[in-house]
Chain A
Amino acid sequence: MKKTEKGILYGLIIALTFVILGTFVLYESNETLDMVAEQLGVIGNNILTAPFPEYSVPWFDTVWTSLVLGMISTIAIFALTYAVGKLLLKIRAKSDTK
């Protein structure tokens, strides 16, 4: 395995460990903004309906599905950002040749 690939693998393992910690240990979210809003009676309703609200699968809401969702979305973000990075380089190469 190449050095870069090894680094990516270790990094992704750390990211997935964060997902595990975020699902099982550090999951309780009570942000200042939400708390202040609640005290004031301000209700924030999102206009768009998110397919996975609060990082859960609405039709099968268990801690395990949240874990799998968190892991898949972390890897998907990695892949998406990689694709965006490559696309930006391609655009640059195209504009350089013009």
Chain B
Amino acid sequence: MHIPDGFLSPAVIVTTYVVVVIFWAISFRRVKSELDERMVPLMALLTALFFAAQMMNYPVIGGTTAHLLGGASLGILLGPSTGLISMTIILVLQCLLFGDGGITALGANVLNMGVVGVLVPYILFVFIIRATKGKQLFVGAFISGFVGDVLAATSAGLELGLSVPTFLYGVSIAVPAMAIHHSIIGLAEGLVTAALLKLLITSKPEVLNLSPTFRHLSSFKIHQVGGLPLEKN
């Protein structure tokens, strides 16, 4: 999903950079309320974990491959602002050290995988958990992971499609091509997100009570999520 240099039109490059700079500014302001001392090791570990996870390419359809994004897990466990900063660190290093994604497309890549890929799953997860009063953790995490991945790919397809004639095919071809292929890996992303949360609930519940998302949920009078009693905010 990493867009290289040469695929996006100047207008799309400028627009995506501007949007991302706004989100970075908001995140750096908001991260103050999300992050605390005890969360720093978790932030570092999840960033390293999903950087490594992005190295694994899974066969999807038509001989193509895709990799997990990790955006949903980062957004849910670290909160949207810290999650965006984590994903930005991954994407900047991939771009500068490994040539995975171009420098002119960095704004677009952060917008797709960092903003859409992190923020959308976070919002969906909070919505589903609130709507089900904390009973559908697995469903919430799965849907968040799946939709986050598909929308991140759709956003990439949209940027490419809007970059005609730099990129030869328009929105009607680029968007479905990206979205359909990534819906397969989206299923895996959903399962991984749900499994990770389930694993943490059973083995390390204290980690989830550190998460700003779970602390935020407790302020909506949600007393438990997937059987995990929430500490009062």
Contacts and interface: CB of A to CB of B under 8 A. Distances in A.
B55 A22 contact: yes
B30 to A, nearest CB: 11
Size class of A's contact patch?
35 or more
Contact of A78 (B48, B59, B60): B48
Interface string B164-198: 00011100001001100110000000000000000
Contact of B51 (A23, A48, A54, A77): A77
Contacts of B56: 18, 21-22, 25-26
Contacts of A21: 56
B103 A48 contact: yes
A35 B102 contact: no
Given A18-B56, A30-B63, A81 B44 contact: yes
A70 B100 CA distance: 13
B69 interface: no
A55 B58 CA distance: 17
A44 B148 CA distance: 26
Contact of B66 (A11, A31, A46, A89): A31
A54 B41 contact: no
Nearest to A82: B44
Contacts of A86: 40
A32 B7 CA distance: 14
B45 A11 contact: yes
Interface in B1-47: 1-7, 28, 31-32, 35-37, 39-41, 43-45, 47
Contacts of A7: 41, 45, 204, 207
